[in-house]
Amino acid sequence: MFRKSVLIAVMLMTVFAASGFAQQSGSADERRIDMYFGNWKESMPGFIHGGIITRDILTKGDPMNPPYKGAVLKYSNAFVYGSLDTGASTVPEALDGEQEIYFILSGKGEFTAGGDTAELYPGIAVLMPANLKFTMKNTGDEPMTMYIVTEPIPEGFRPNKKMLVRDEKTIPIDSTTGHWVHIVKYLFQTPDGLGTLERILTCAFDPMTIGDQHSHGEGVEEVWTAITGTSLAFMGRQLRKQPPGTGYMIPPDGKTTHSNLNPGDEQIKIFYFARYKDHEPRK
């Protein structure tokens, strides 16, 4: 225990030293940083597709000056936690002008769209394109929960004709060295049919590892949300616990740094989506 405490202390000192003087500590900075964090447990329930109960994680707002906590999204339309009750189904409908990306967290069910049916269980990711009628059904004996990202599609964009399904557990690891320690599996990228976003992936951290602190500039929308395990999230000189259900976006000011530290004994995993710059979507 003593050795572990010393290792954590050394890691923390390294991070705070690396952060330099990009942000001044104090109550004003604490309040500012908190505006970029959201947890669905703090949100009021909503309702989509005639069956899915939603709670906001992050919402539309101003990424440089959020009007309220979590209102930081500029390029994505919504990011929510969803739950479909046991035996419940959504109503058949198609998305208009936007697409949805689902990542299943618990339970089991099925998606039906365009004559195809896909099984849903933890680790399944689905890109549901615009203009394709679909339904979701809970086939298990507990609520089926999920993260849902909604992205707008640009004028002239050609959406996929079928839903795209990926199983995170069977996707090979793409990299283990990004920002020192990120263990990355790509779920979807622009060529897969994303319209506004450019990457959706999972990022794991092994026990007692920390990512390289770095910042992002104007136009970047990068969101990190815990799936399993509780890490420590750094933003500037602020430190926050990040349990499952908690997400944050990095302020795109070019100076506020961010990173995550896993101080525990088990690997933690994070759901990530990002838009980096103006780009040509598939047409």
Which pLDDT tens digits describe the chain residue by residue (283 residues)? 444 444 454 455 445 444 443 344 456 778 899 999 999 999 999 999 999 999 999 999 999 999 999 999 999 999 999 999 999 999 999 999 999 999 999 999 999 999 999 999 999 999 999 999 999 999 999 999 999 999 999 999 999 999 999 999 999 999 999 999 999 999 999 999 999 999 999 999 999 999 999 999 999 999 999 999 999 999 998 999 999 999 999 999 999 999 999 999 999 999 999 999 987 766 6
Rounded Cα gap, residues 74 and 138, in angstroms: 32
Query: CA nearest 58: which of 40, 82, 84?
Result: 40
Strand partners, 118: 111
Residues in a beta bridge with 120: 109
Residue 251 and residue 220 in contact, taking contact as beta carbons nearer than 8 Å: no
CA distance 167 to 121: 9
Q: What is the pLDDT of residue 184?
A: 98
- Listed by start position, the domains of the chain span 2-275
Give residue for tokens 């909604």: 150
Q: Is 272 helix (H, G, I), strand (E, B) or coil?
A: strand
Continuous H helices in the chain: 2-18, 27-34
Q: Are 129 and 160 in contact (CB under 8 A)?
A: yes
Annotation: CATH topology of 2-275:
Jelly Rolls (2.60.120)
Q: In what order do the strands lie in the sheet with 134-138?
A: 116-120, 109-113, 134-138
